[in-house]
Structure 1
Amino acid sequence: MKIGLDIMGGDYAPKATVLGAIEAYKTLSADQKLVLIGDREIATSILQENNANPDNFEFVHTTEVIGMGEHPTKAIVQKPDSSISVGFKLLKEGYIQAFSSAGNTGAMLVGGMFSVKTIPGVIRPAMTTIVPKLKGGLGILLDVGANADCKPDNLLQFGVLGSLLAESVYGISNPRVALMNIGEEEEKGNLLTQASYHVMKDTNMFNFVGNIEGRDLFSGEFDIAVCDGFTGNVILKLAESFYVITLKKGFKDEFFDRFNYEQYGGSPILGLNQPVVVGHGISSPEAIKNMVLLSKNMVESNLIDKIKQAFQ
């Protein structure tokens, strides 16, 4: 297995990404190789400064970088030798089996859809995040930013994608899928959630348990929470602030510690033909390491094949 890592993507790249690669390497088996995509000379220098052997990694040298604020489509087209563009080329050609980056999220979405493309039957790929539960365990929230505007069919498919991720990667049996809404009653919500409720209620593609409200997000009443990307991204950014607030207020709590994004590494883009993971722009070495390990788990679990079978 070869896992591609964009070492130029992220606010603290390439130092944080290369240091994360060093930590990830320590957990990989002999038949799992990390391919560092970016400026080879800089990466080698960082490795040597930290007493890491460059021979432990493969390198694919690139000369361009897509900035965090660049227009995704223009950047992918105008910078073919960027680390993101080259990463997707390697993924499409099968040289690597997974690709991850903490760089420009839009470029990762566009690059994925242009290169490895969407699985036939999937209308729009979705991004996910982990939601810690008060009594232990975790839930999955999607979409968290790939699709700001959605239709009921999108939310239905998000339920399928989230269920397969929960079962395959996180070992959750018969995951419960809930619809994020402003009330528990069937008739509550806007036009999207009202229509989506009936579509999801009538499906046999997953275990639908009805509506949940924002106050239920950290409860044990669901395993998958489905919403449009606008709502999901607002929830995600609010939840991320909890951990930061606890640090600023000077108190430590096991539950709030689980809001630390570093533990989860990144967000899988579900619905593409190959495993792709997007990390947080401020990813630390620990987050980069966990992003690589999540990519590995997606490959080992055969998640993509299971999604393809579900949408045949």
Structure 2
Amino acid sequence: MKIGLDISGGDFAPKATIAGAILASKLLAENQQIVLIGDQDIAKQHIEQAGENPAFFEYIHAPDTIGMSEHPTKAIAQKPDSSISRGFQLLKEGAIDSFASAGNTGAMLVGAVFSVKTIPGVIRPAIATNVPKVKSGFGILLDVGANADCKPEMLPQFGLLGSLLAEHVYGIQKPTVGLLNIGEEAEKGNMLTLAAHPLLKENDRITFIGNIEGRELFDDKADVIVCDGFAGNVVLKMAESFYMLTRQKGLDDPFFERFNYEQYGGSPILGVNAPVIIGHGISSPEAIKNMVLLSRNMVESNIVEKIKSAFN
């Protein structure tokens, strides 16, 4: 197994990404190797400074970087030697089994769709994230940013994508699916949720339990919560603020500790033909480590083939 990692993407790259790769490498099996994609000389220099052997990794030299503020489509086309462009080329060729980056989110989405492409039958890929539950564990929320505007028929697909991720990567048996809405009643909501509700209810590939209000997001009512990418991204950013607020207030609470993004590493793009993980721009070495481990778990679970089969 070859796990591709962009070492140039992220606010603290390459130091944090390489440090995270070193941490992850100690937890991988002998047949699992991290492929570092970025400036090869800088990567080896950082690894040697950390007292580690550069031979433990493979390297793909990609001297260019796509900045966080660059236009995704233009940057992918105009910077073929960037770490993100090279990573997706390798993924397309099958030279790596997965690709992860804490760099430009838009470029990661564009790269995924235009290189390995969307799985046939999937209308639009979605980004999924973990939502901590009060009692224990976590649920899956999607979409959280790939599709700001959605058609009603996309939400049942998100429900199926999230269910497959929950079951095969996270081991949640028979995951339930809820629709994020402003009320429990089927008659409530905007045009999107009103149209999507009956489609979710009629879909026999998922276990739909009805609407989920914002106050129910962190309980055990649903394992998978679906919404459009606009609402999902607002919820994601609000949830991320919980952990920062508790830190600022000096509060020590096990539940809010689980809102720390570092524990989850990154957010998978579901619905494309290879495992692709997007990391937080401020990813620390711990977050990078967990992003690599999530990449490994997605490859081991064969989640992409299971999604292909479900949408065939």
Give the Cα separation in 2 of the matches to 1:271 and 1:301. 15
Residue 203 of structure 1, CA deviation: 1.1
Q: Taking structure 2 as the reference length, what is the TM-score of the superposition?
A: 1.00
> What is the letter of the counterpart of residue 209 of structure 1?
I
Residue 172 of structure 1, CA deviation: 0.6
Q: What is aligned with 1:278?
A: 278
Give the Cα separation in 1 of the matches to 2:79 and 2:73. 10
Residue 157 of structure 1, CA deviation: 0.5
Residue 63 of structure 1, CA deviation: 1.6
Give the Cα separation in 2 of the matches to 1:120 and 1:7. 31
SS at match of 1:152: coil
Give the Cα separation in 1 of the matches to 2:297 and 2:62. 27
SS at match of 1:241: helix
The answer on 1:176 being equivalent to 2:176 is yes
The answer on 1:151 being equivalent to 2:151 is yes
> What is the letter of the counterpart of residue 136 of structure 1?
S
> What is the letter of the counterpart of residue 57 of structure 1?
F
Q: What is aligned with 1:55?
A: 55
> What is the letter of the counterpart of residue 310 of structure 1?
A
Aligned-residue Cα RMSD (Å) equals: 0.4
1:32-85: CA deviations, max 9, x gaps? 010000001111111111101100000000121000010000000000010000
Q: What is aligned with 1:241?
A: 241
Mapping for residues 1-312 of structure 1, pairs under 5 Å: 1-312=1-312
> What is the letter of the counterpart of residue 245 of structure 2?
I
Residue 88 of structure 1, CA deviation: 0.4
SS at match of 2:278: strand
Residue 137 of structure 1, CA deviation: 1.3
Give the Cα separation in 1 of the matches to 2:234 and 2:48. 41
1:4-58: CA deviations, max 9, x gaps? 0000000000000000000000000000010000001111111111101100000
Give the Cα separation in 2 of the matches to 1:202 and 1:62. 48
Give the Cα separation in 2 of the matches to 1:81 and 1:121. 32
Give the Cα separation in 1 of the matches to 2:265 and 2:14. 16
SS at match of 2:76: helix
Gaps of 5+ in 2: none
Residue 156 of structure 1, CA deviation: 1.0
> What is the letter of the counterpart of residue 301 of structure 1?
S
> What is the letter of the counterpart of residue 129 of structure 1?
T
Give the Cα separation in 2 of the matches to 1:162 and 1:153. 15
Residue 241 of structure 1, CA deviation: 0.3
Give the Cα separation in 2 of the matches to 1:153 and 1:24. 39
Give the Cα separation in 1 of the matches to 2:163 and 2:308. 14
> What is the letter of the counterpart of residue 220 of structure 1?
D
Give the Cα separation in 2 of the matches to 1:148 and 1:50. 42
Gaps of 5+ in 1: none
Give the Cα separation in 2 of the matches to 1:40 and 1:63. 8
1:207-257: CA deviations, max 9, x gaps? 000001000000111100000000000000000000000000011110000
SS at match of 2:165: helix
1:166-190: CA deviations, max 9, x gaps? 0000001110000000000010000
Q: Taking structure 1 as the reference length, what is the TM-score of the superposition?
A: 1.00
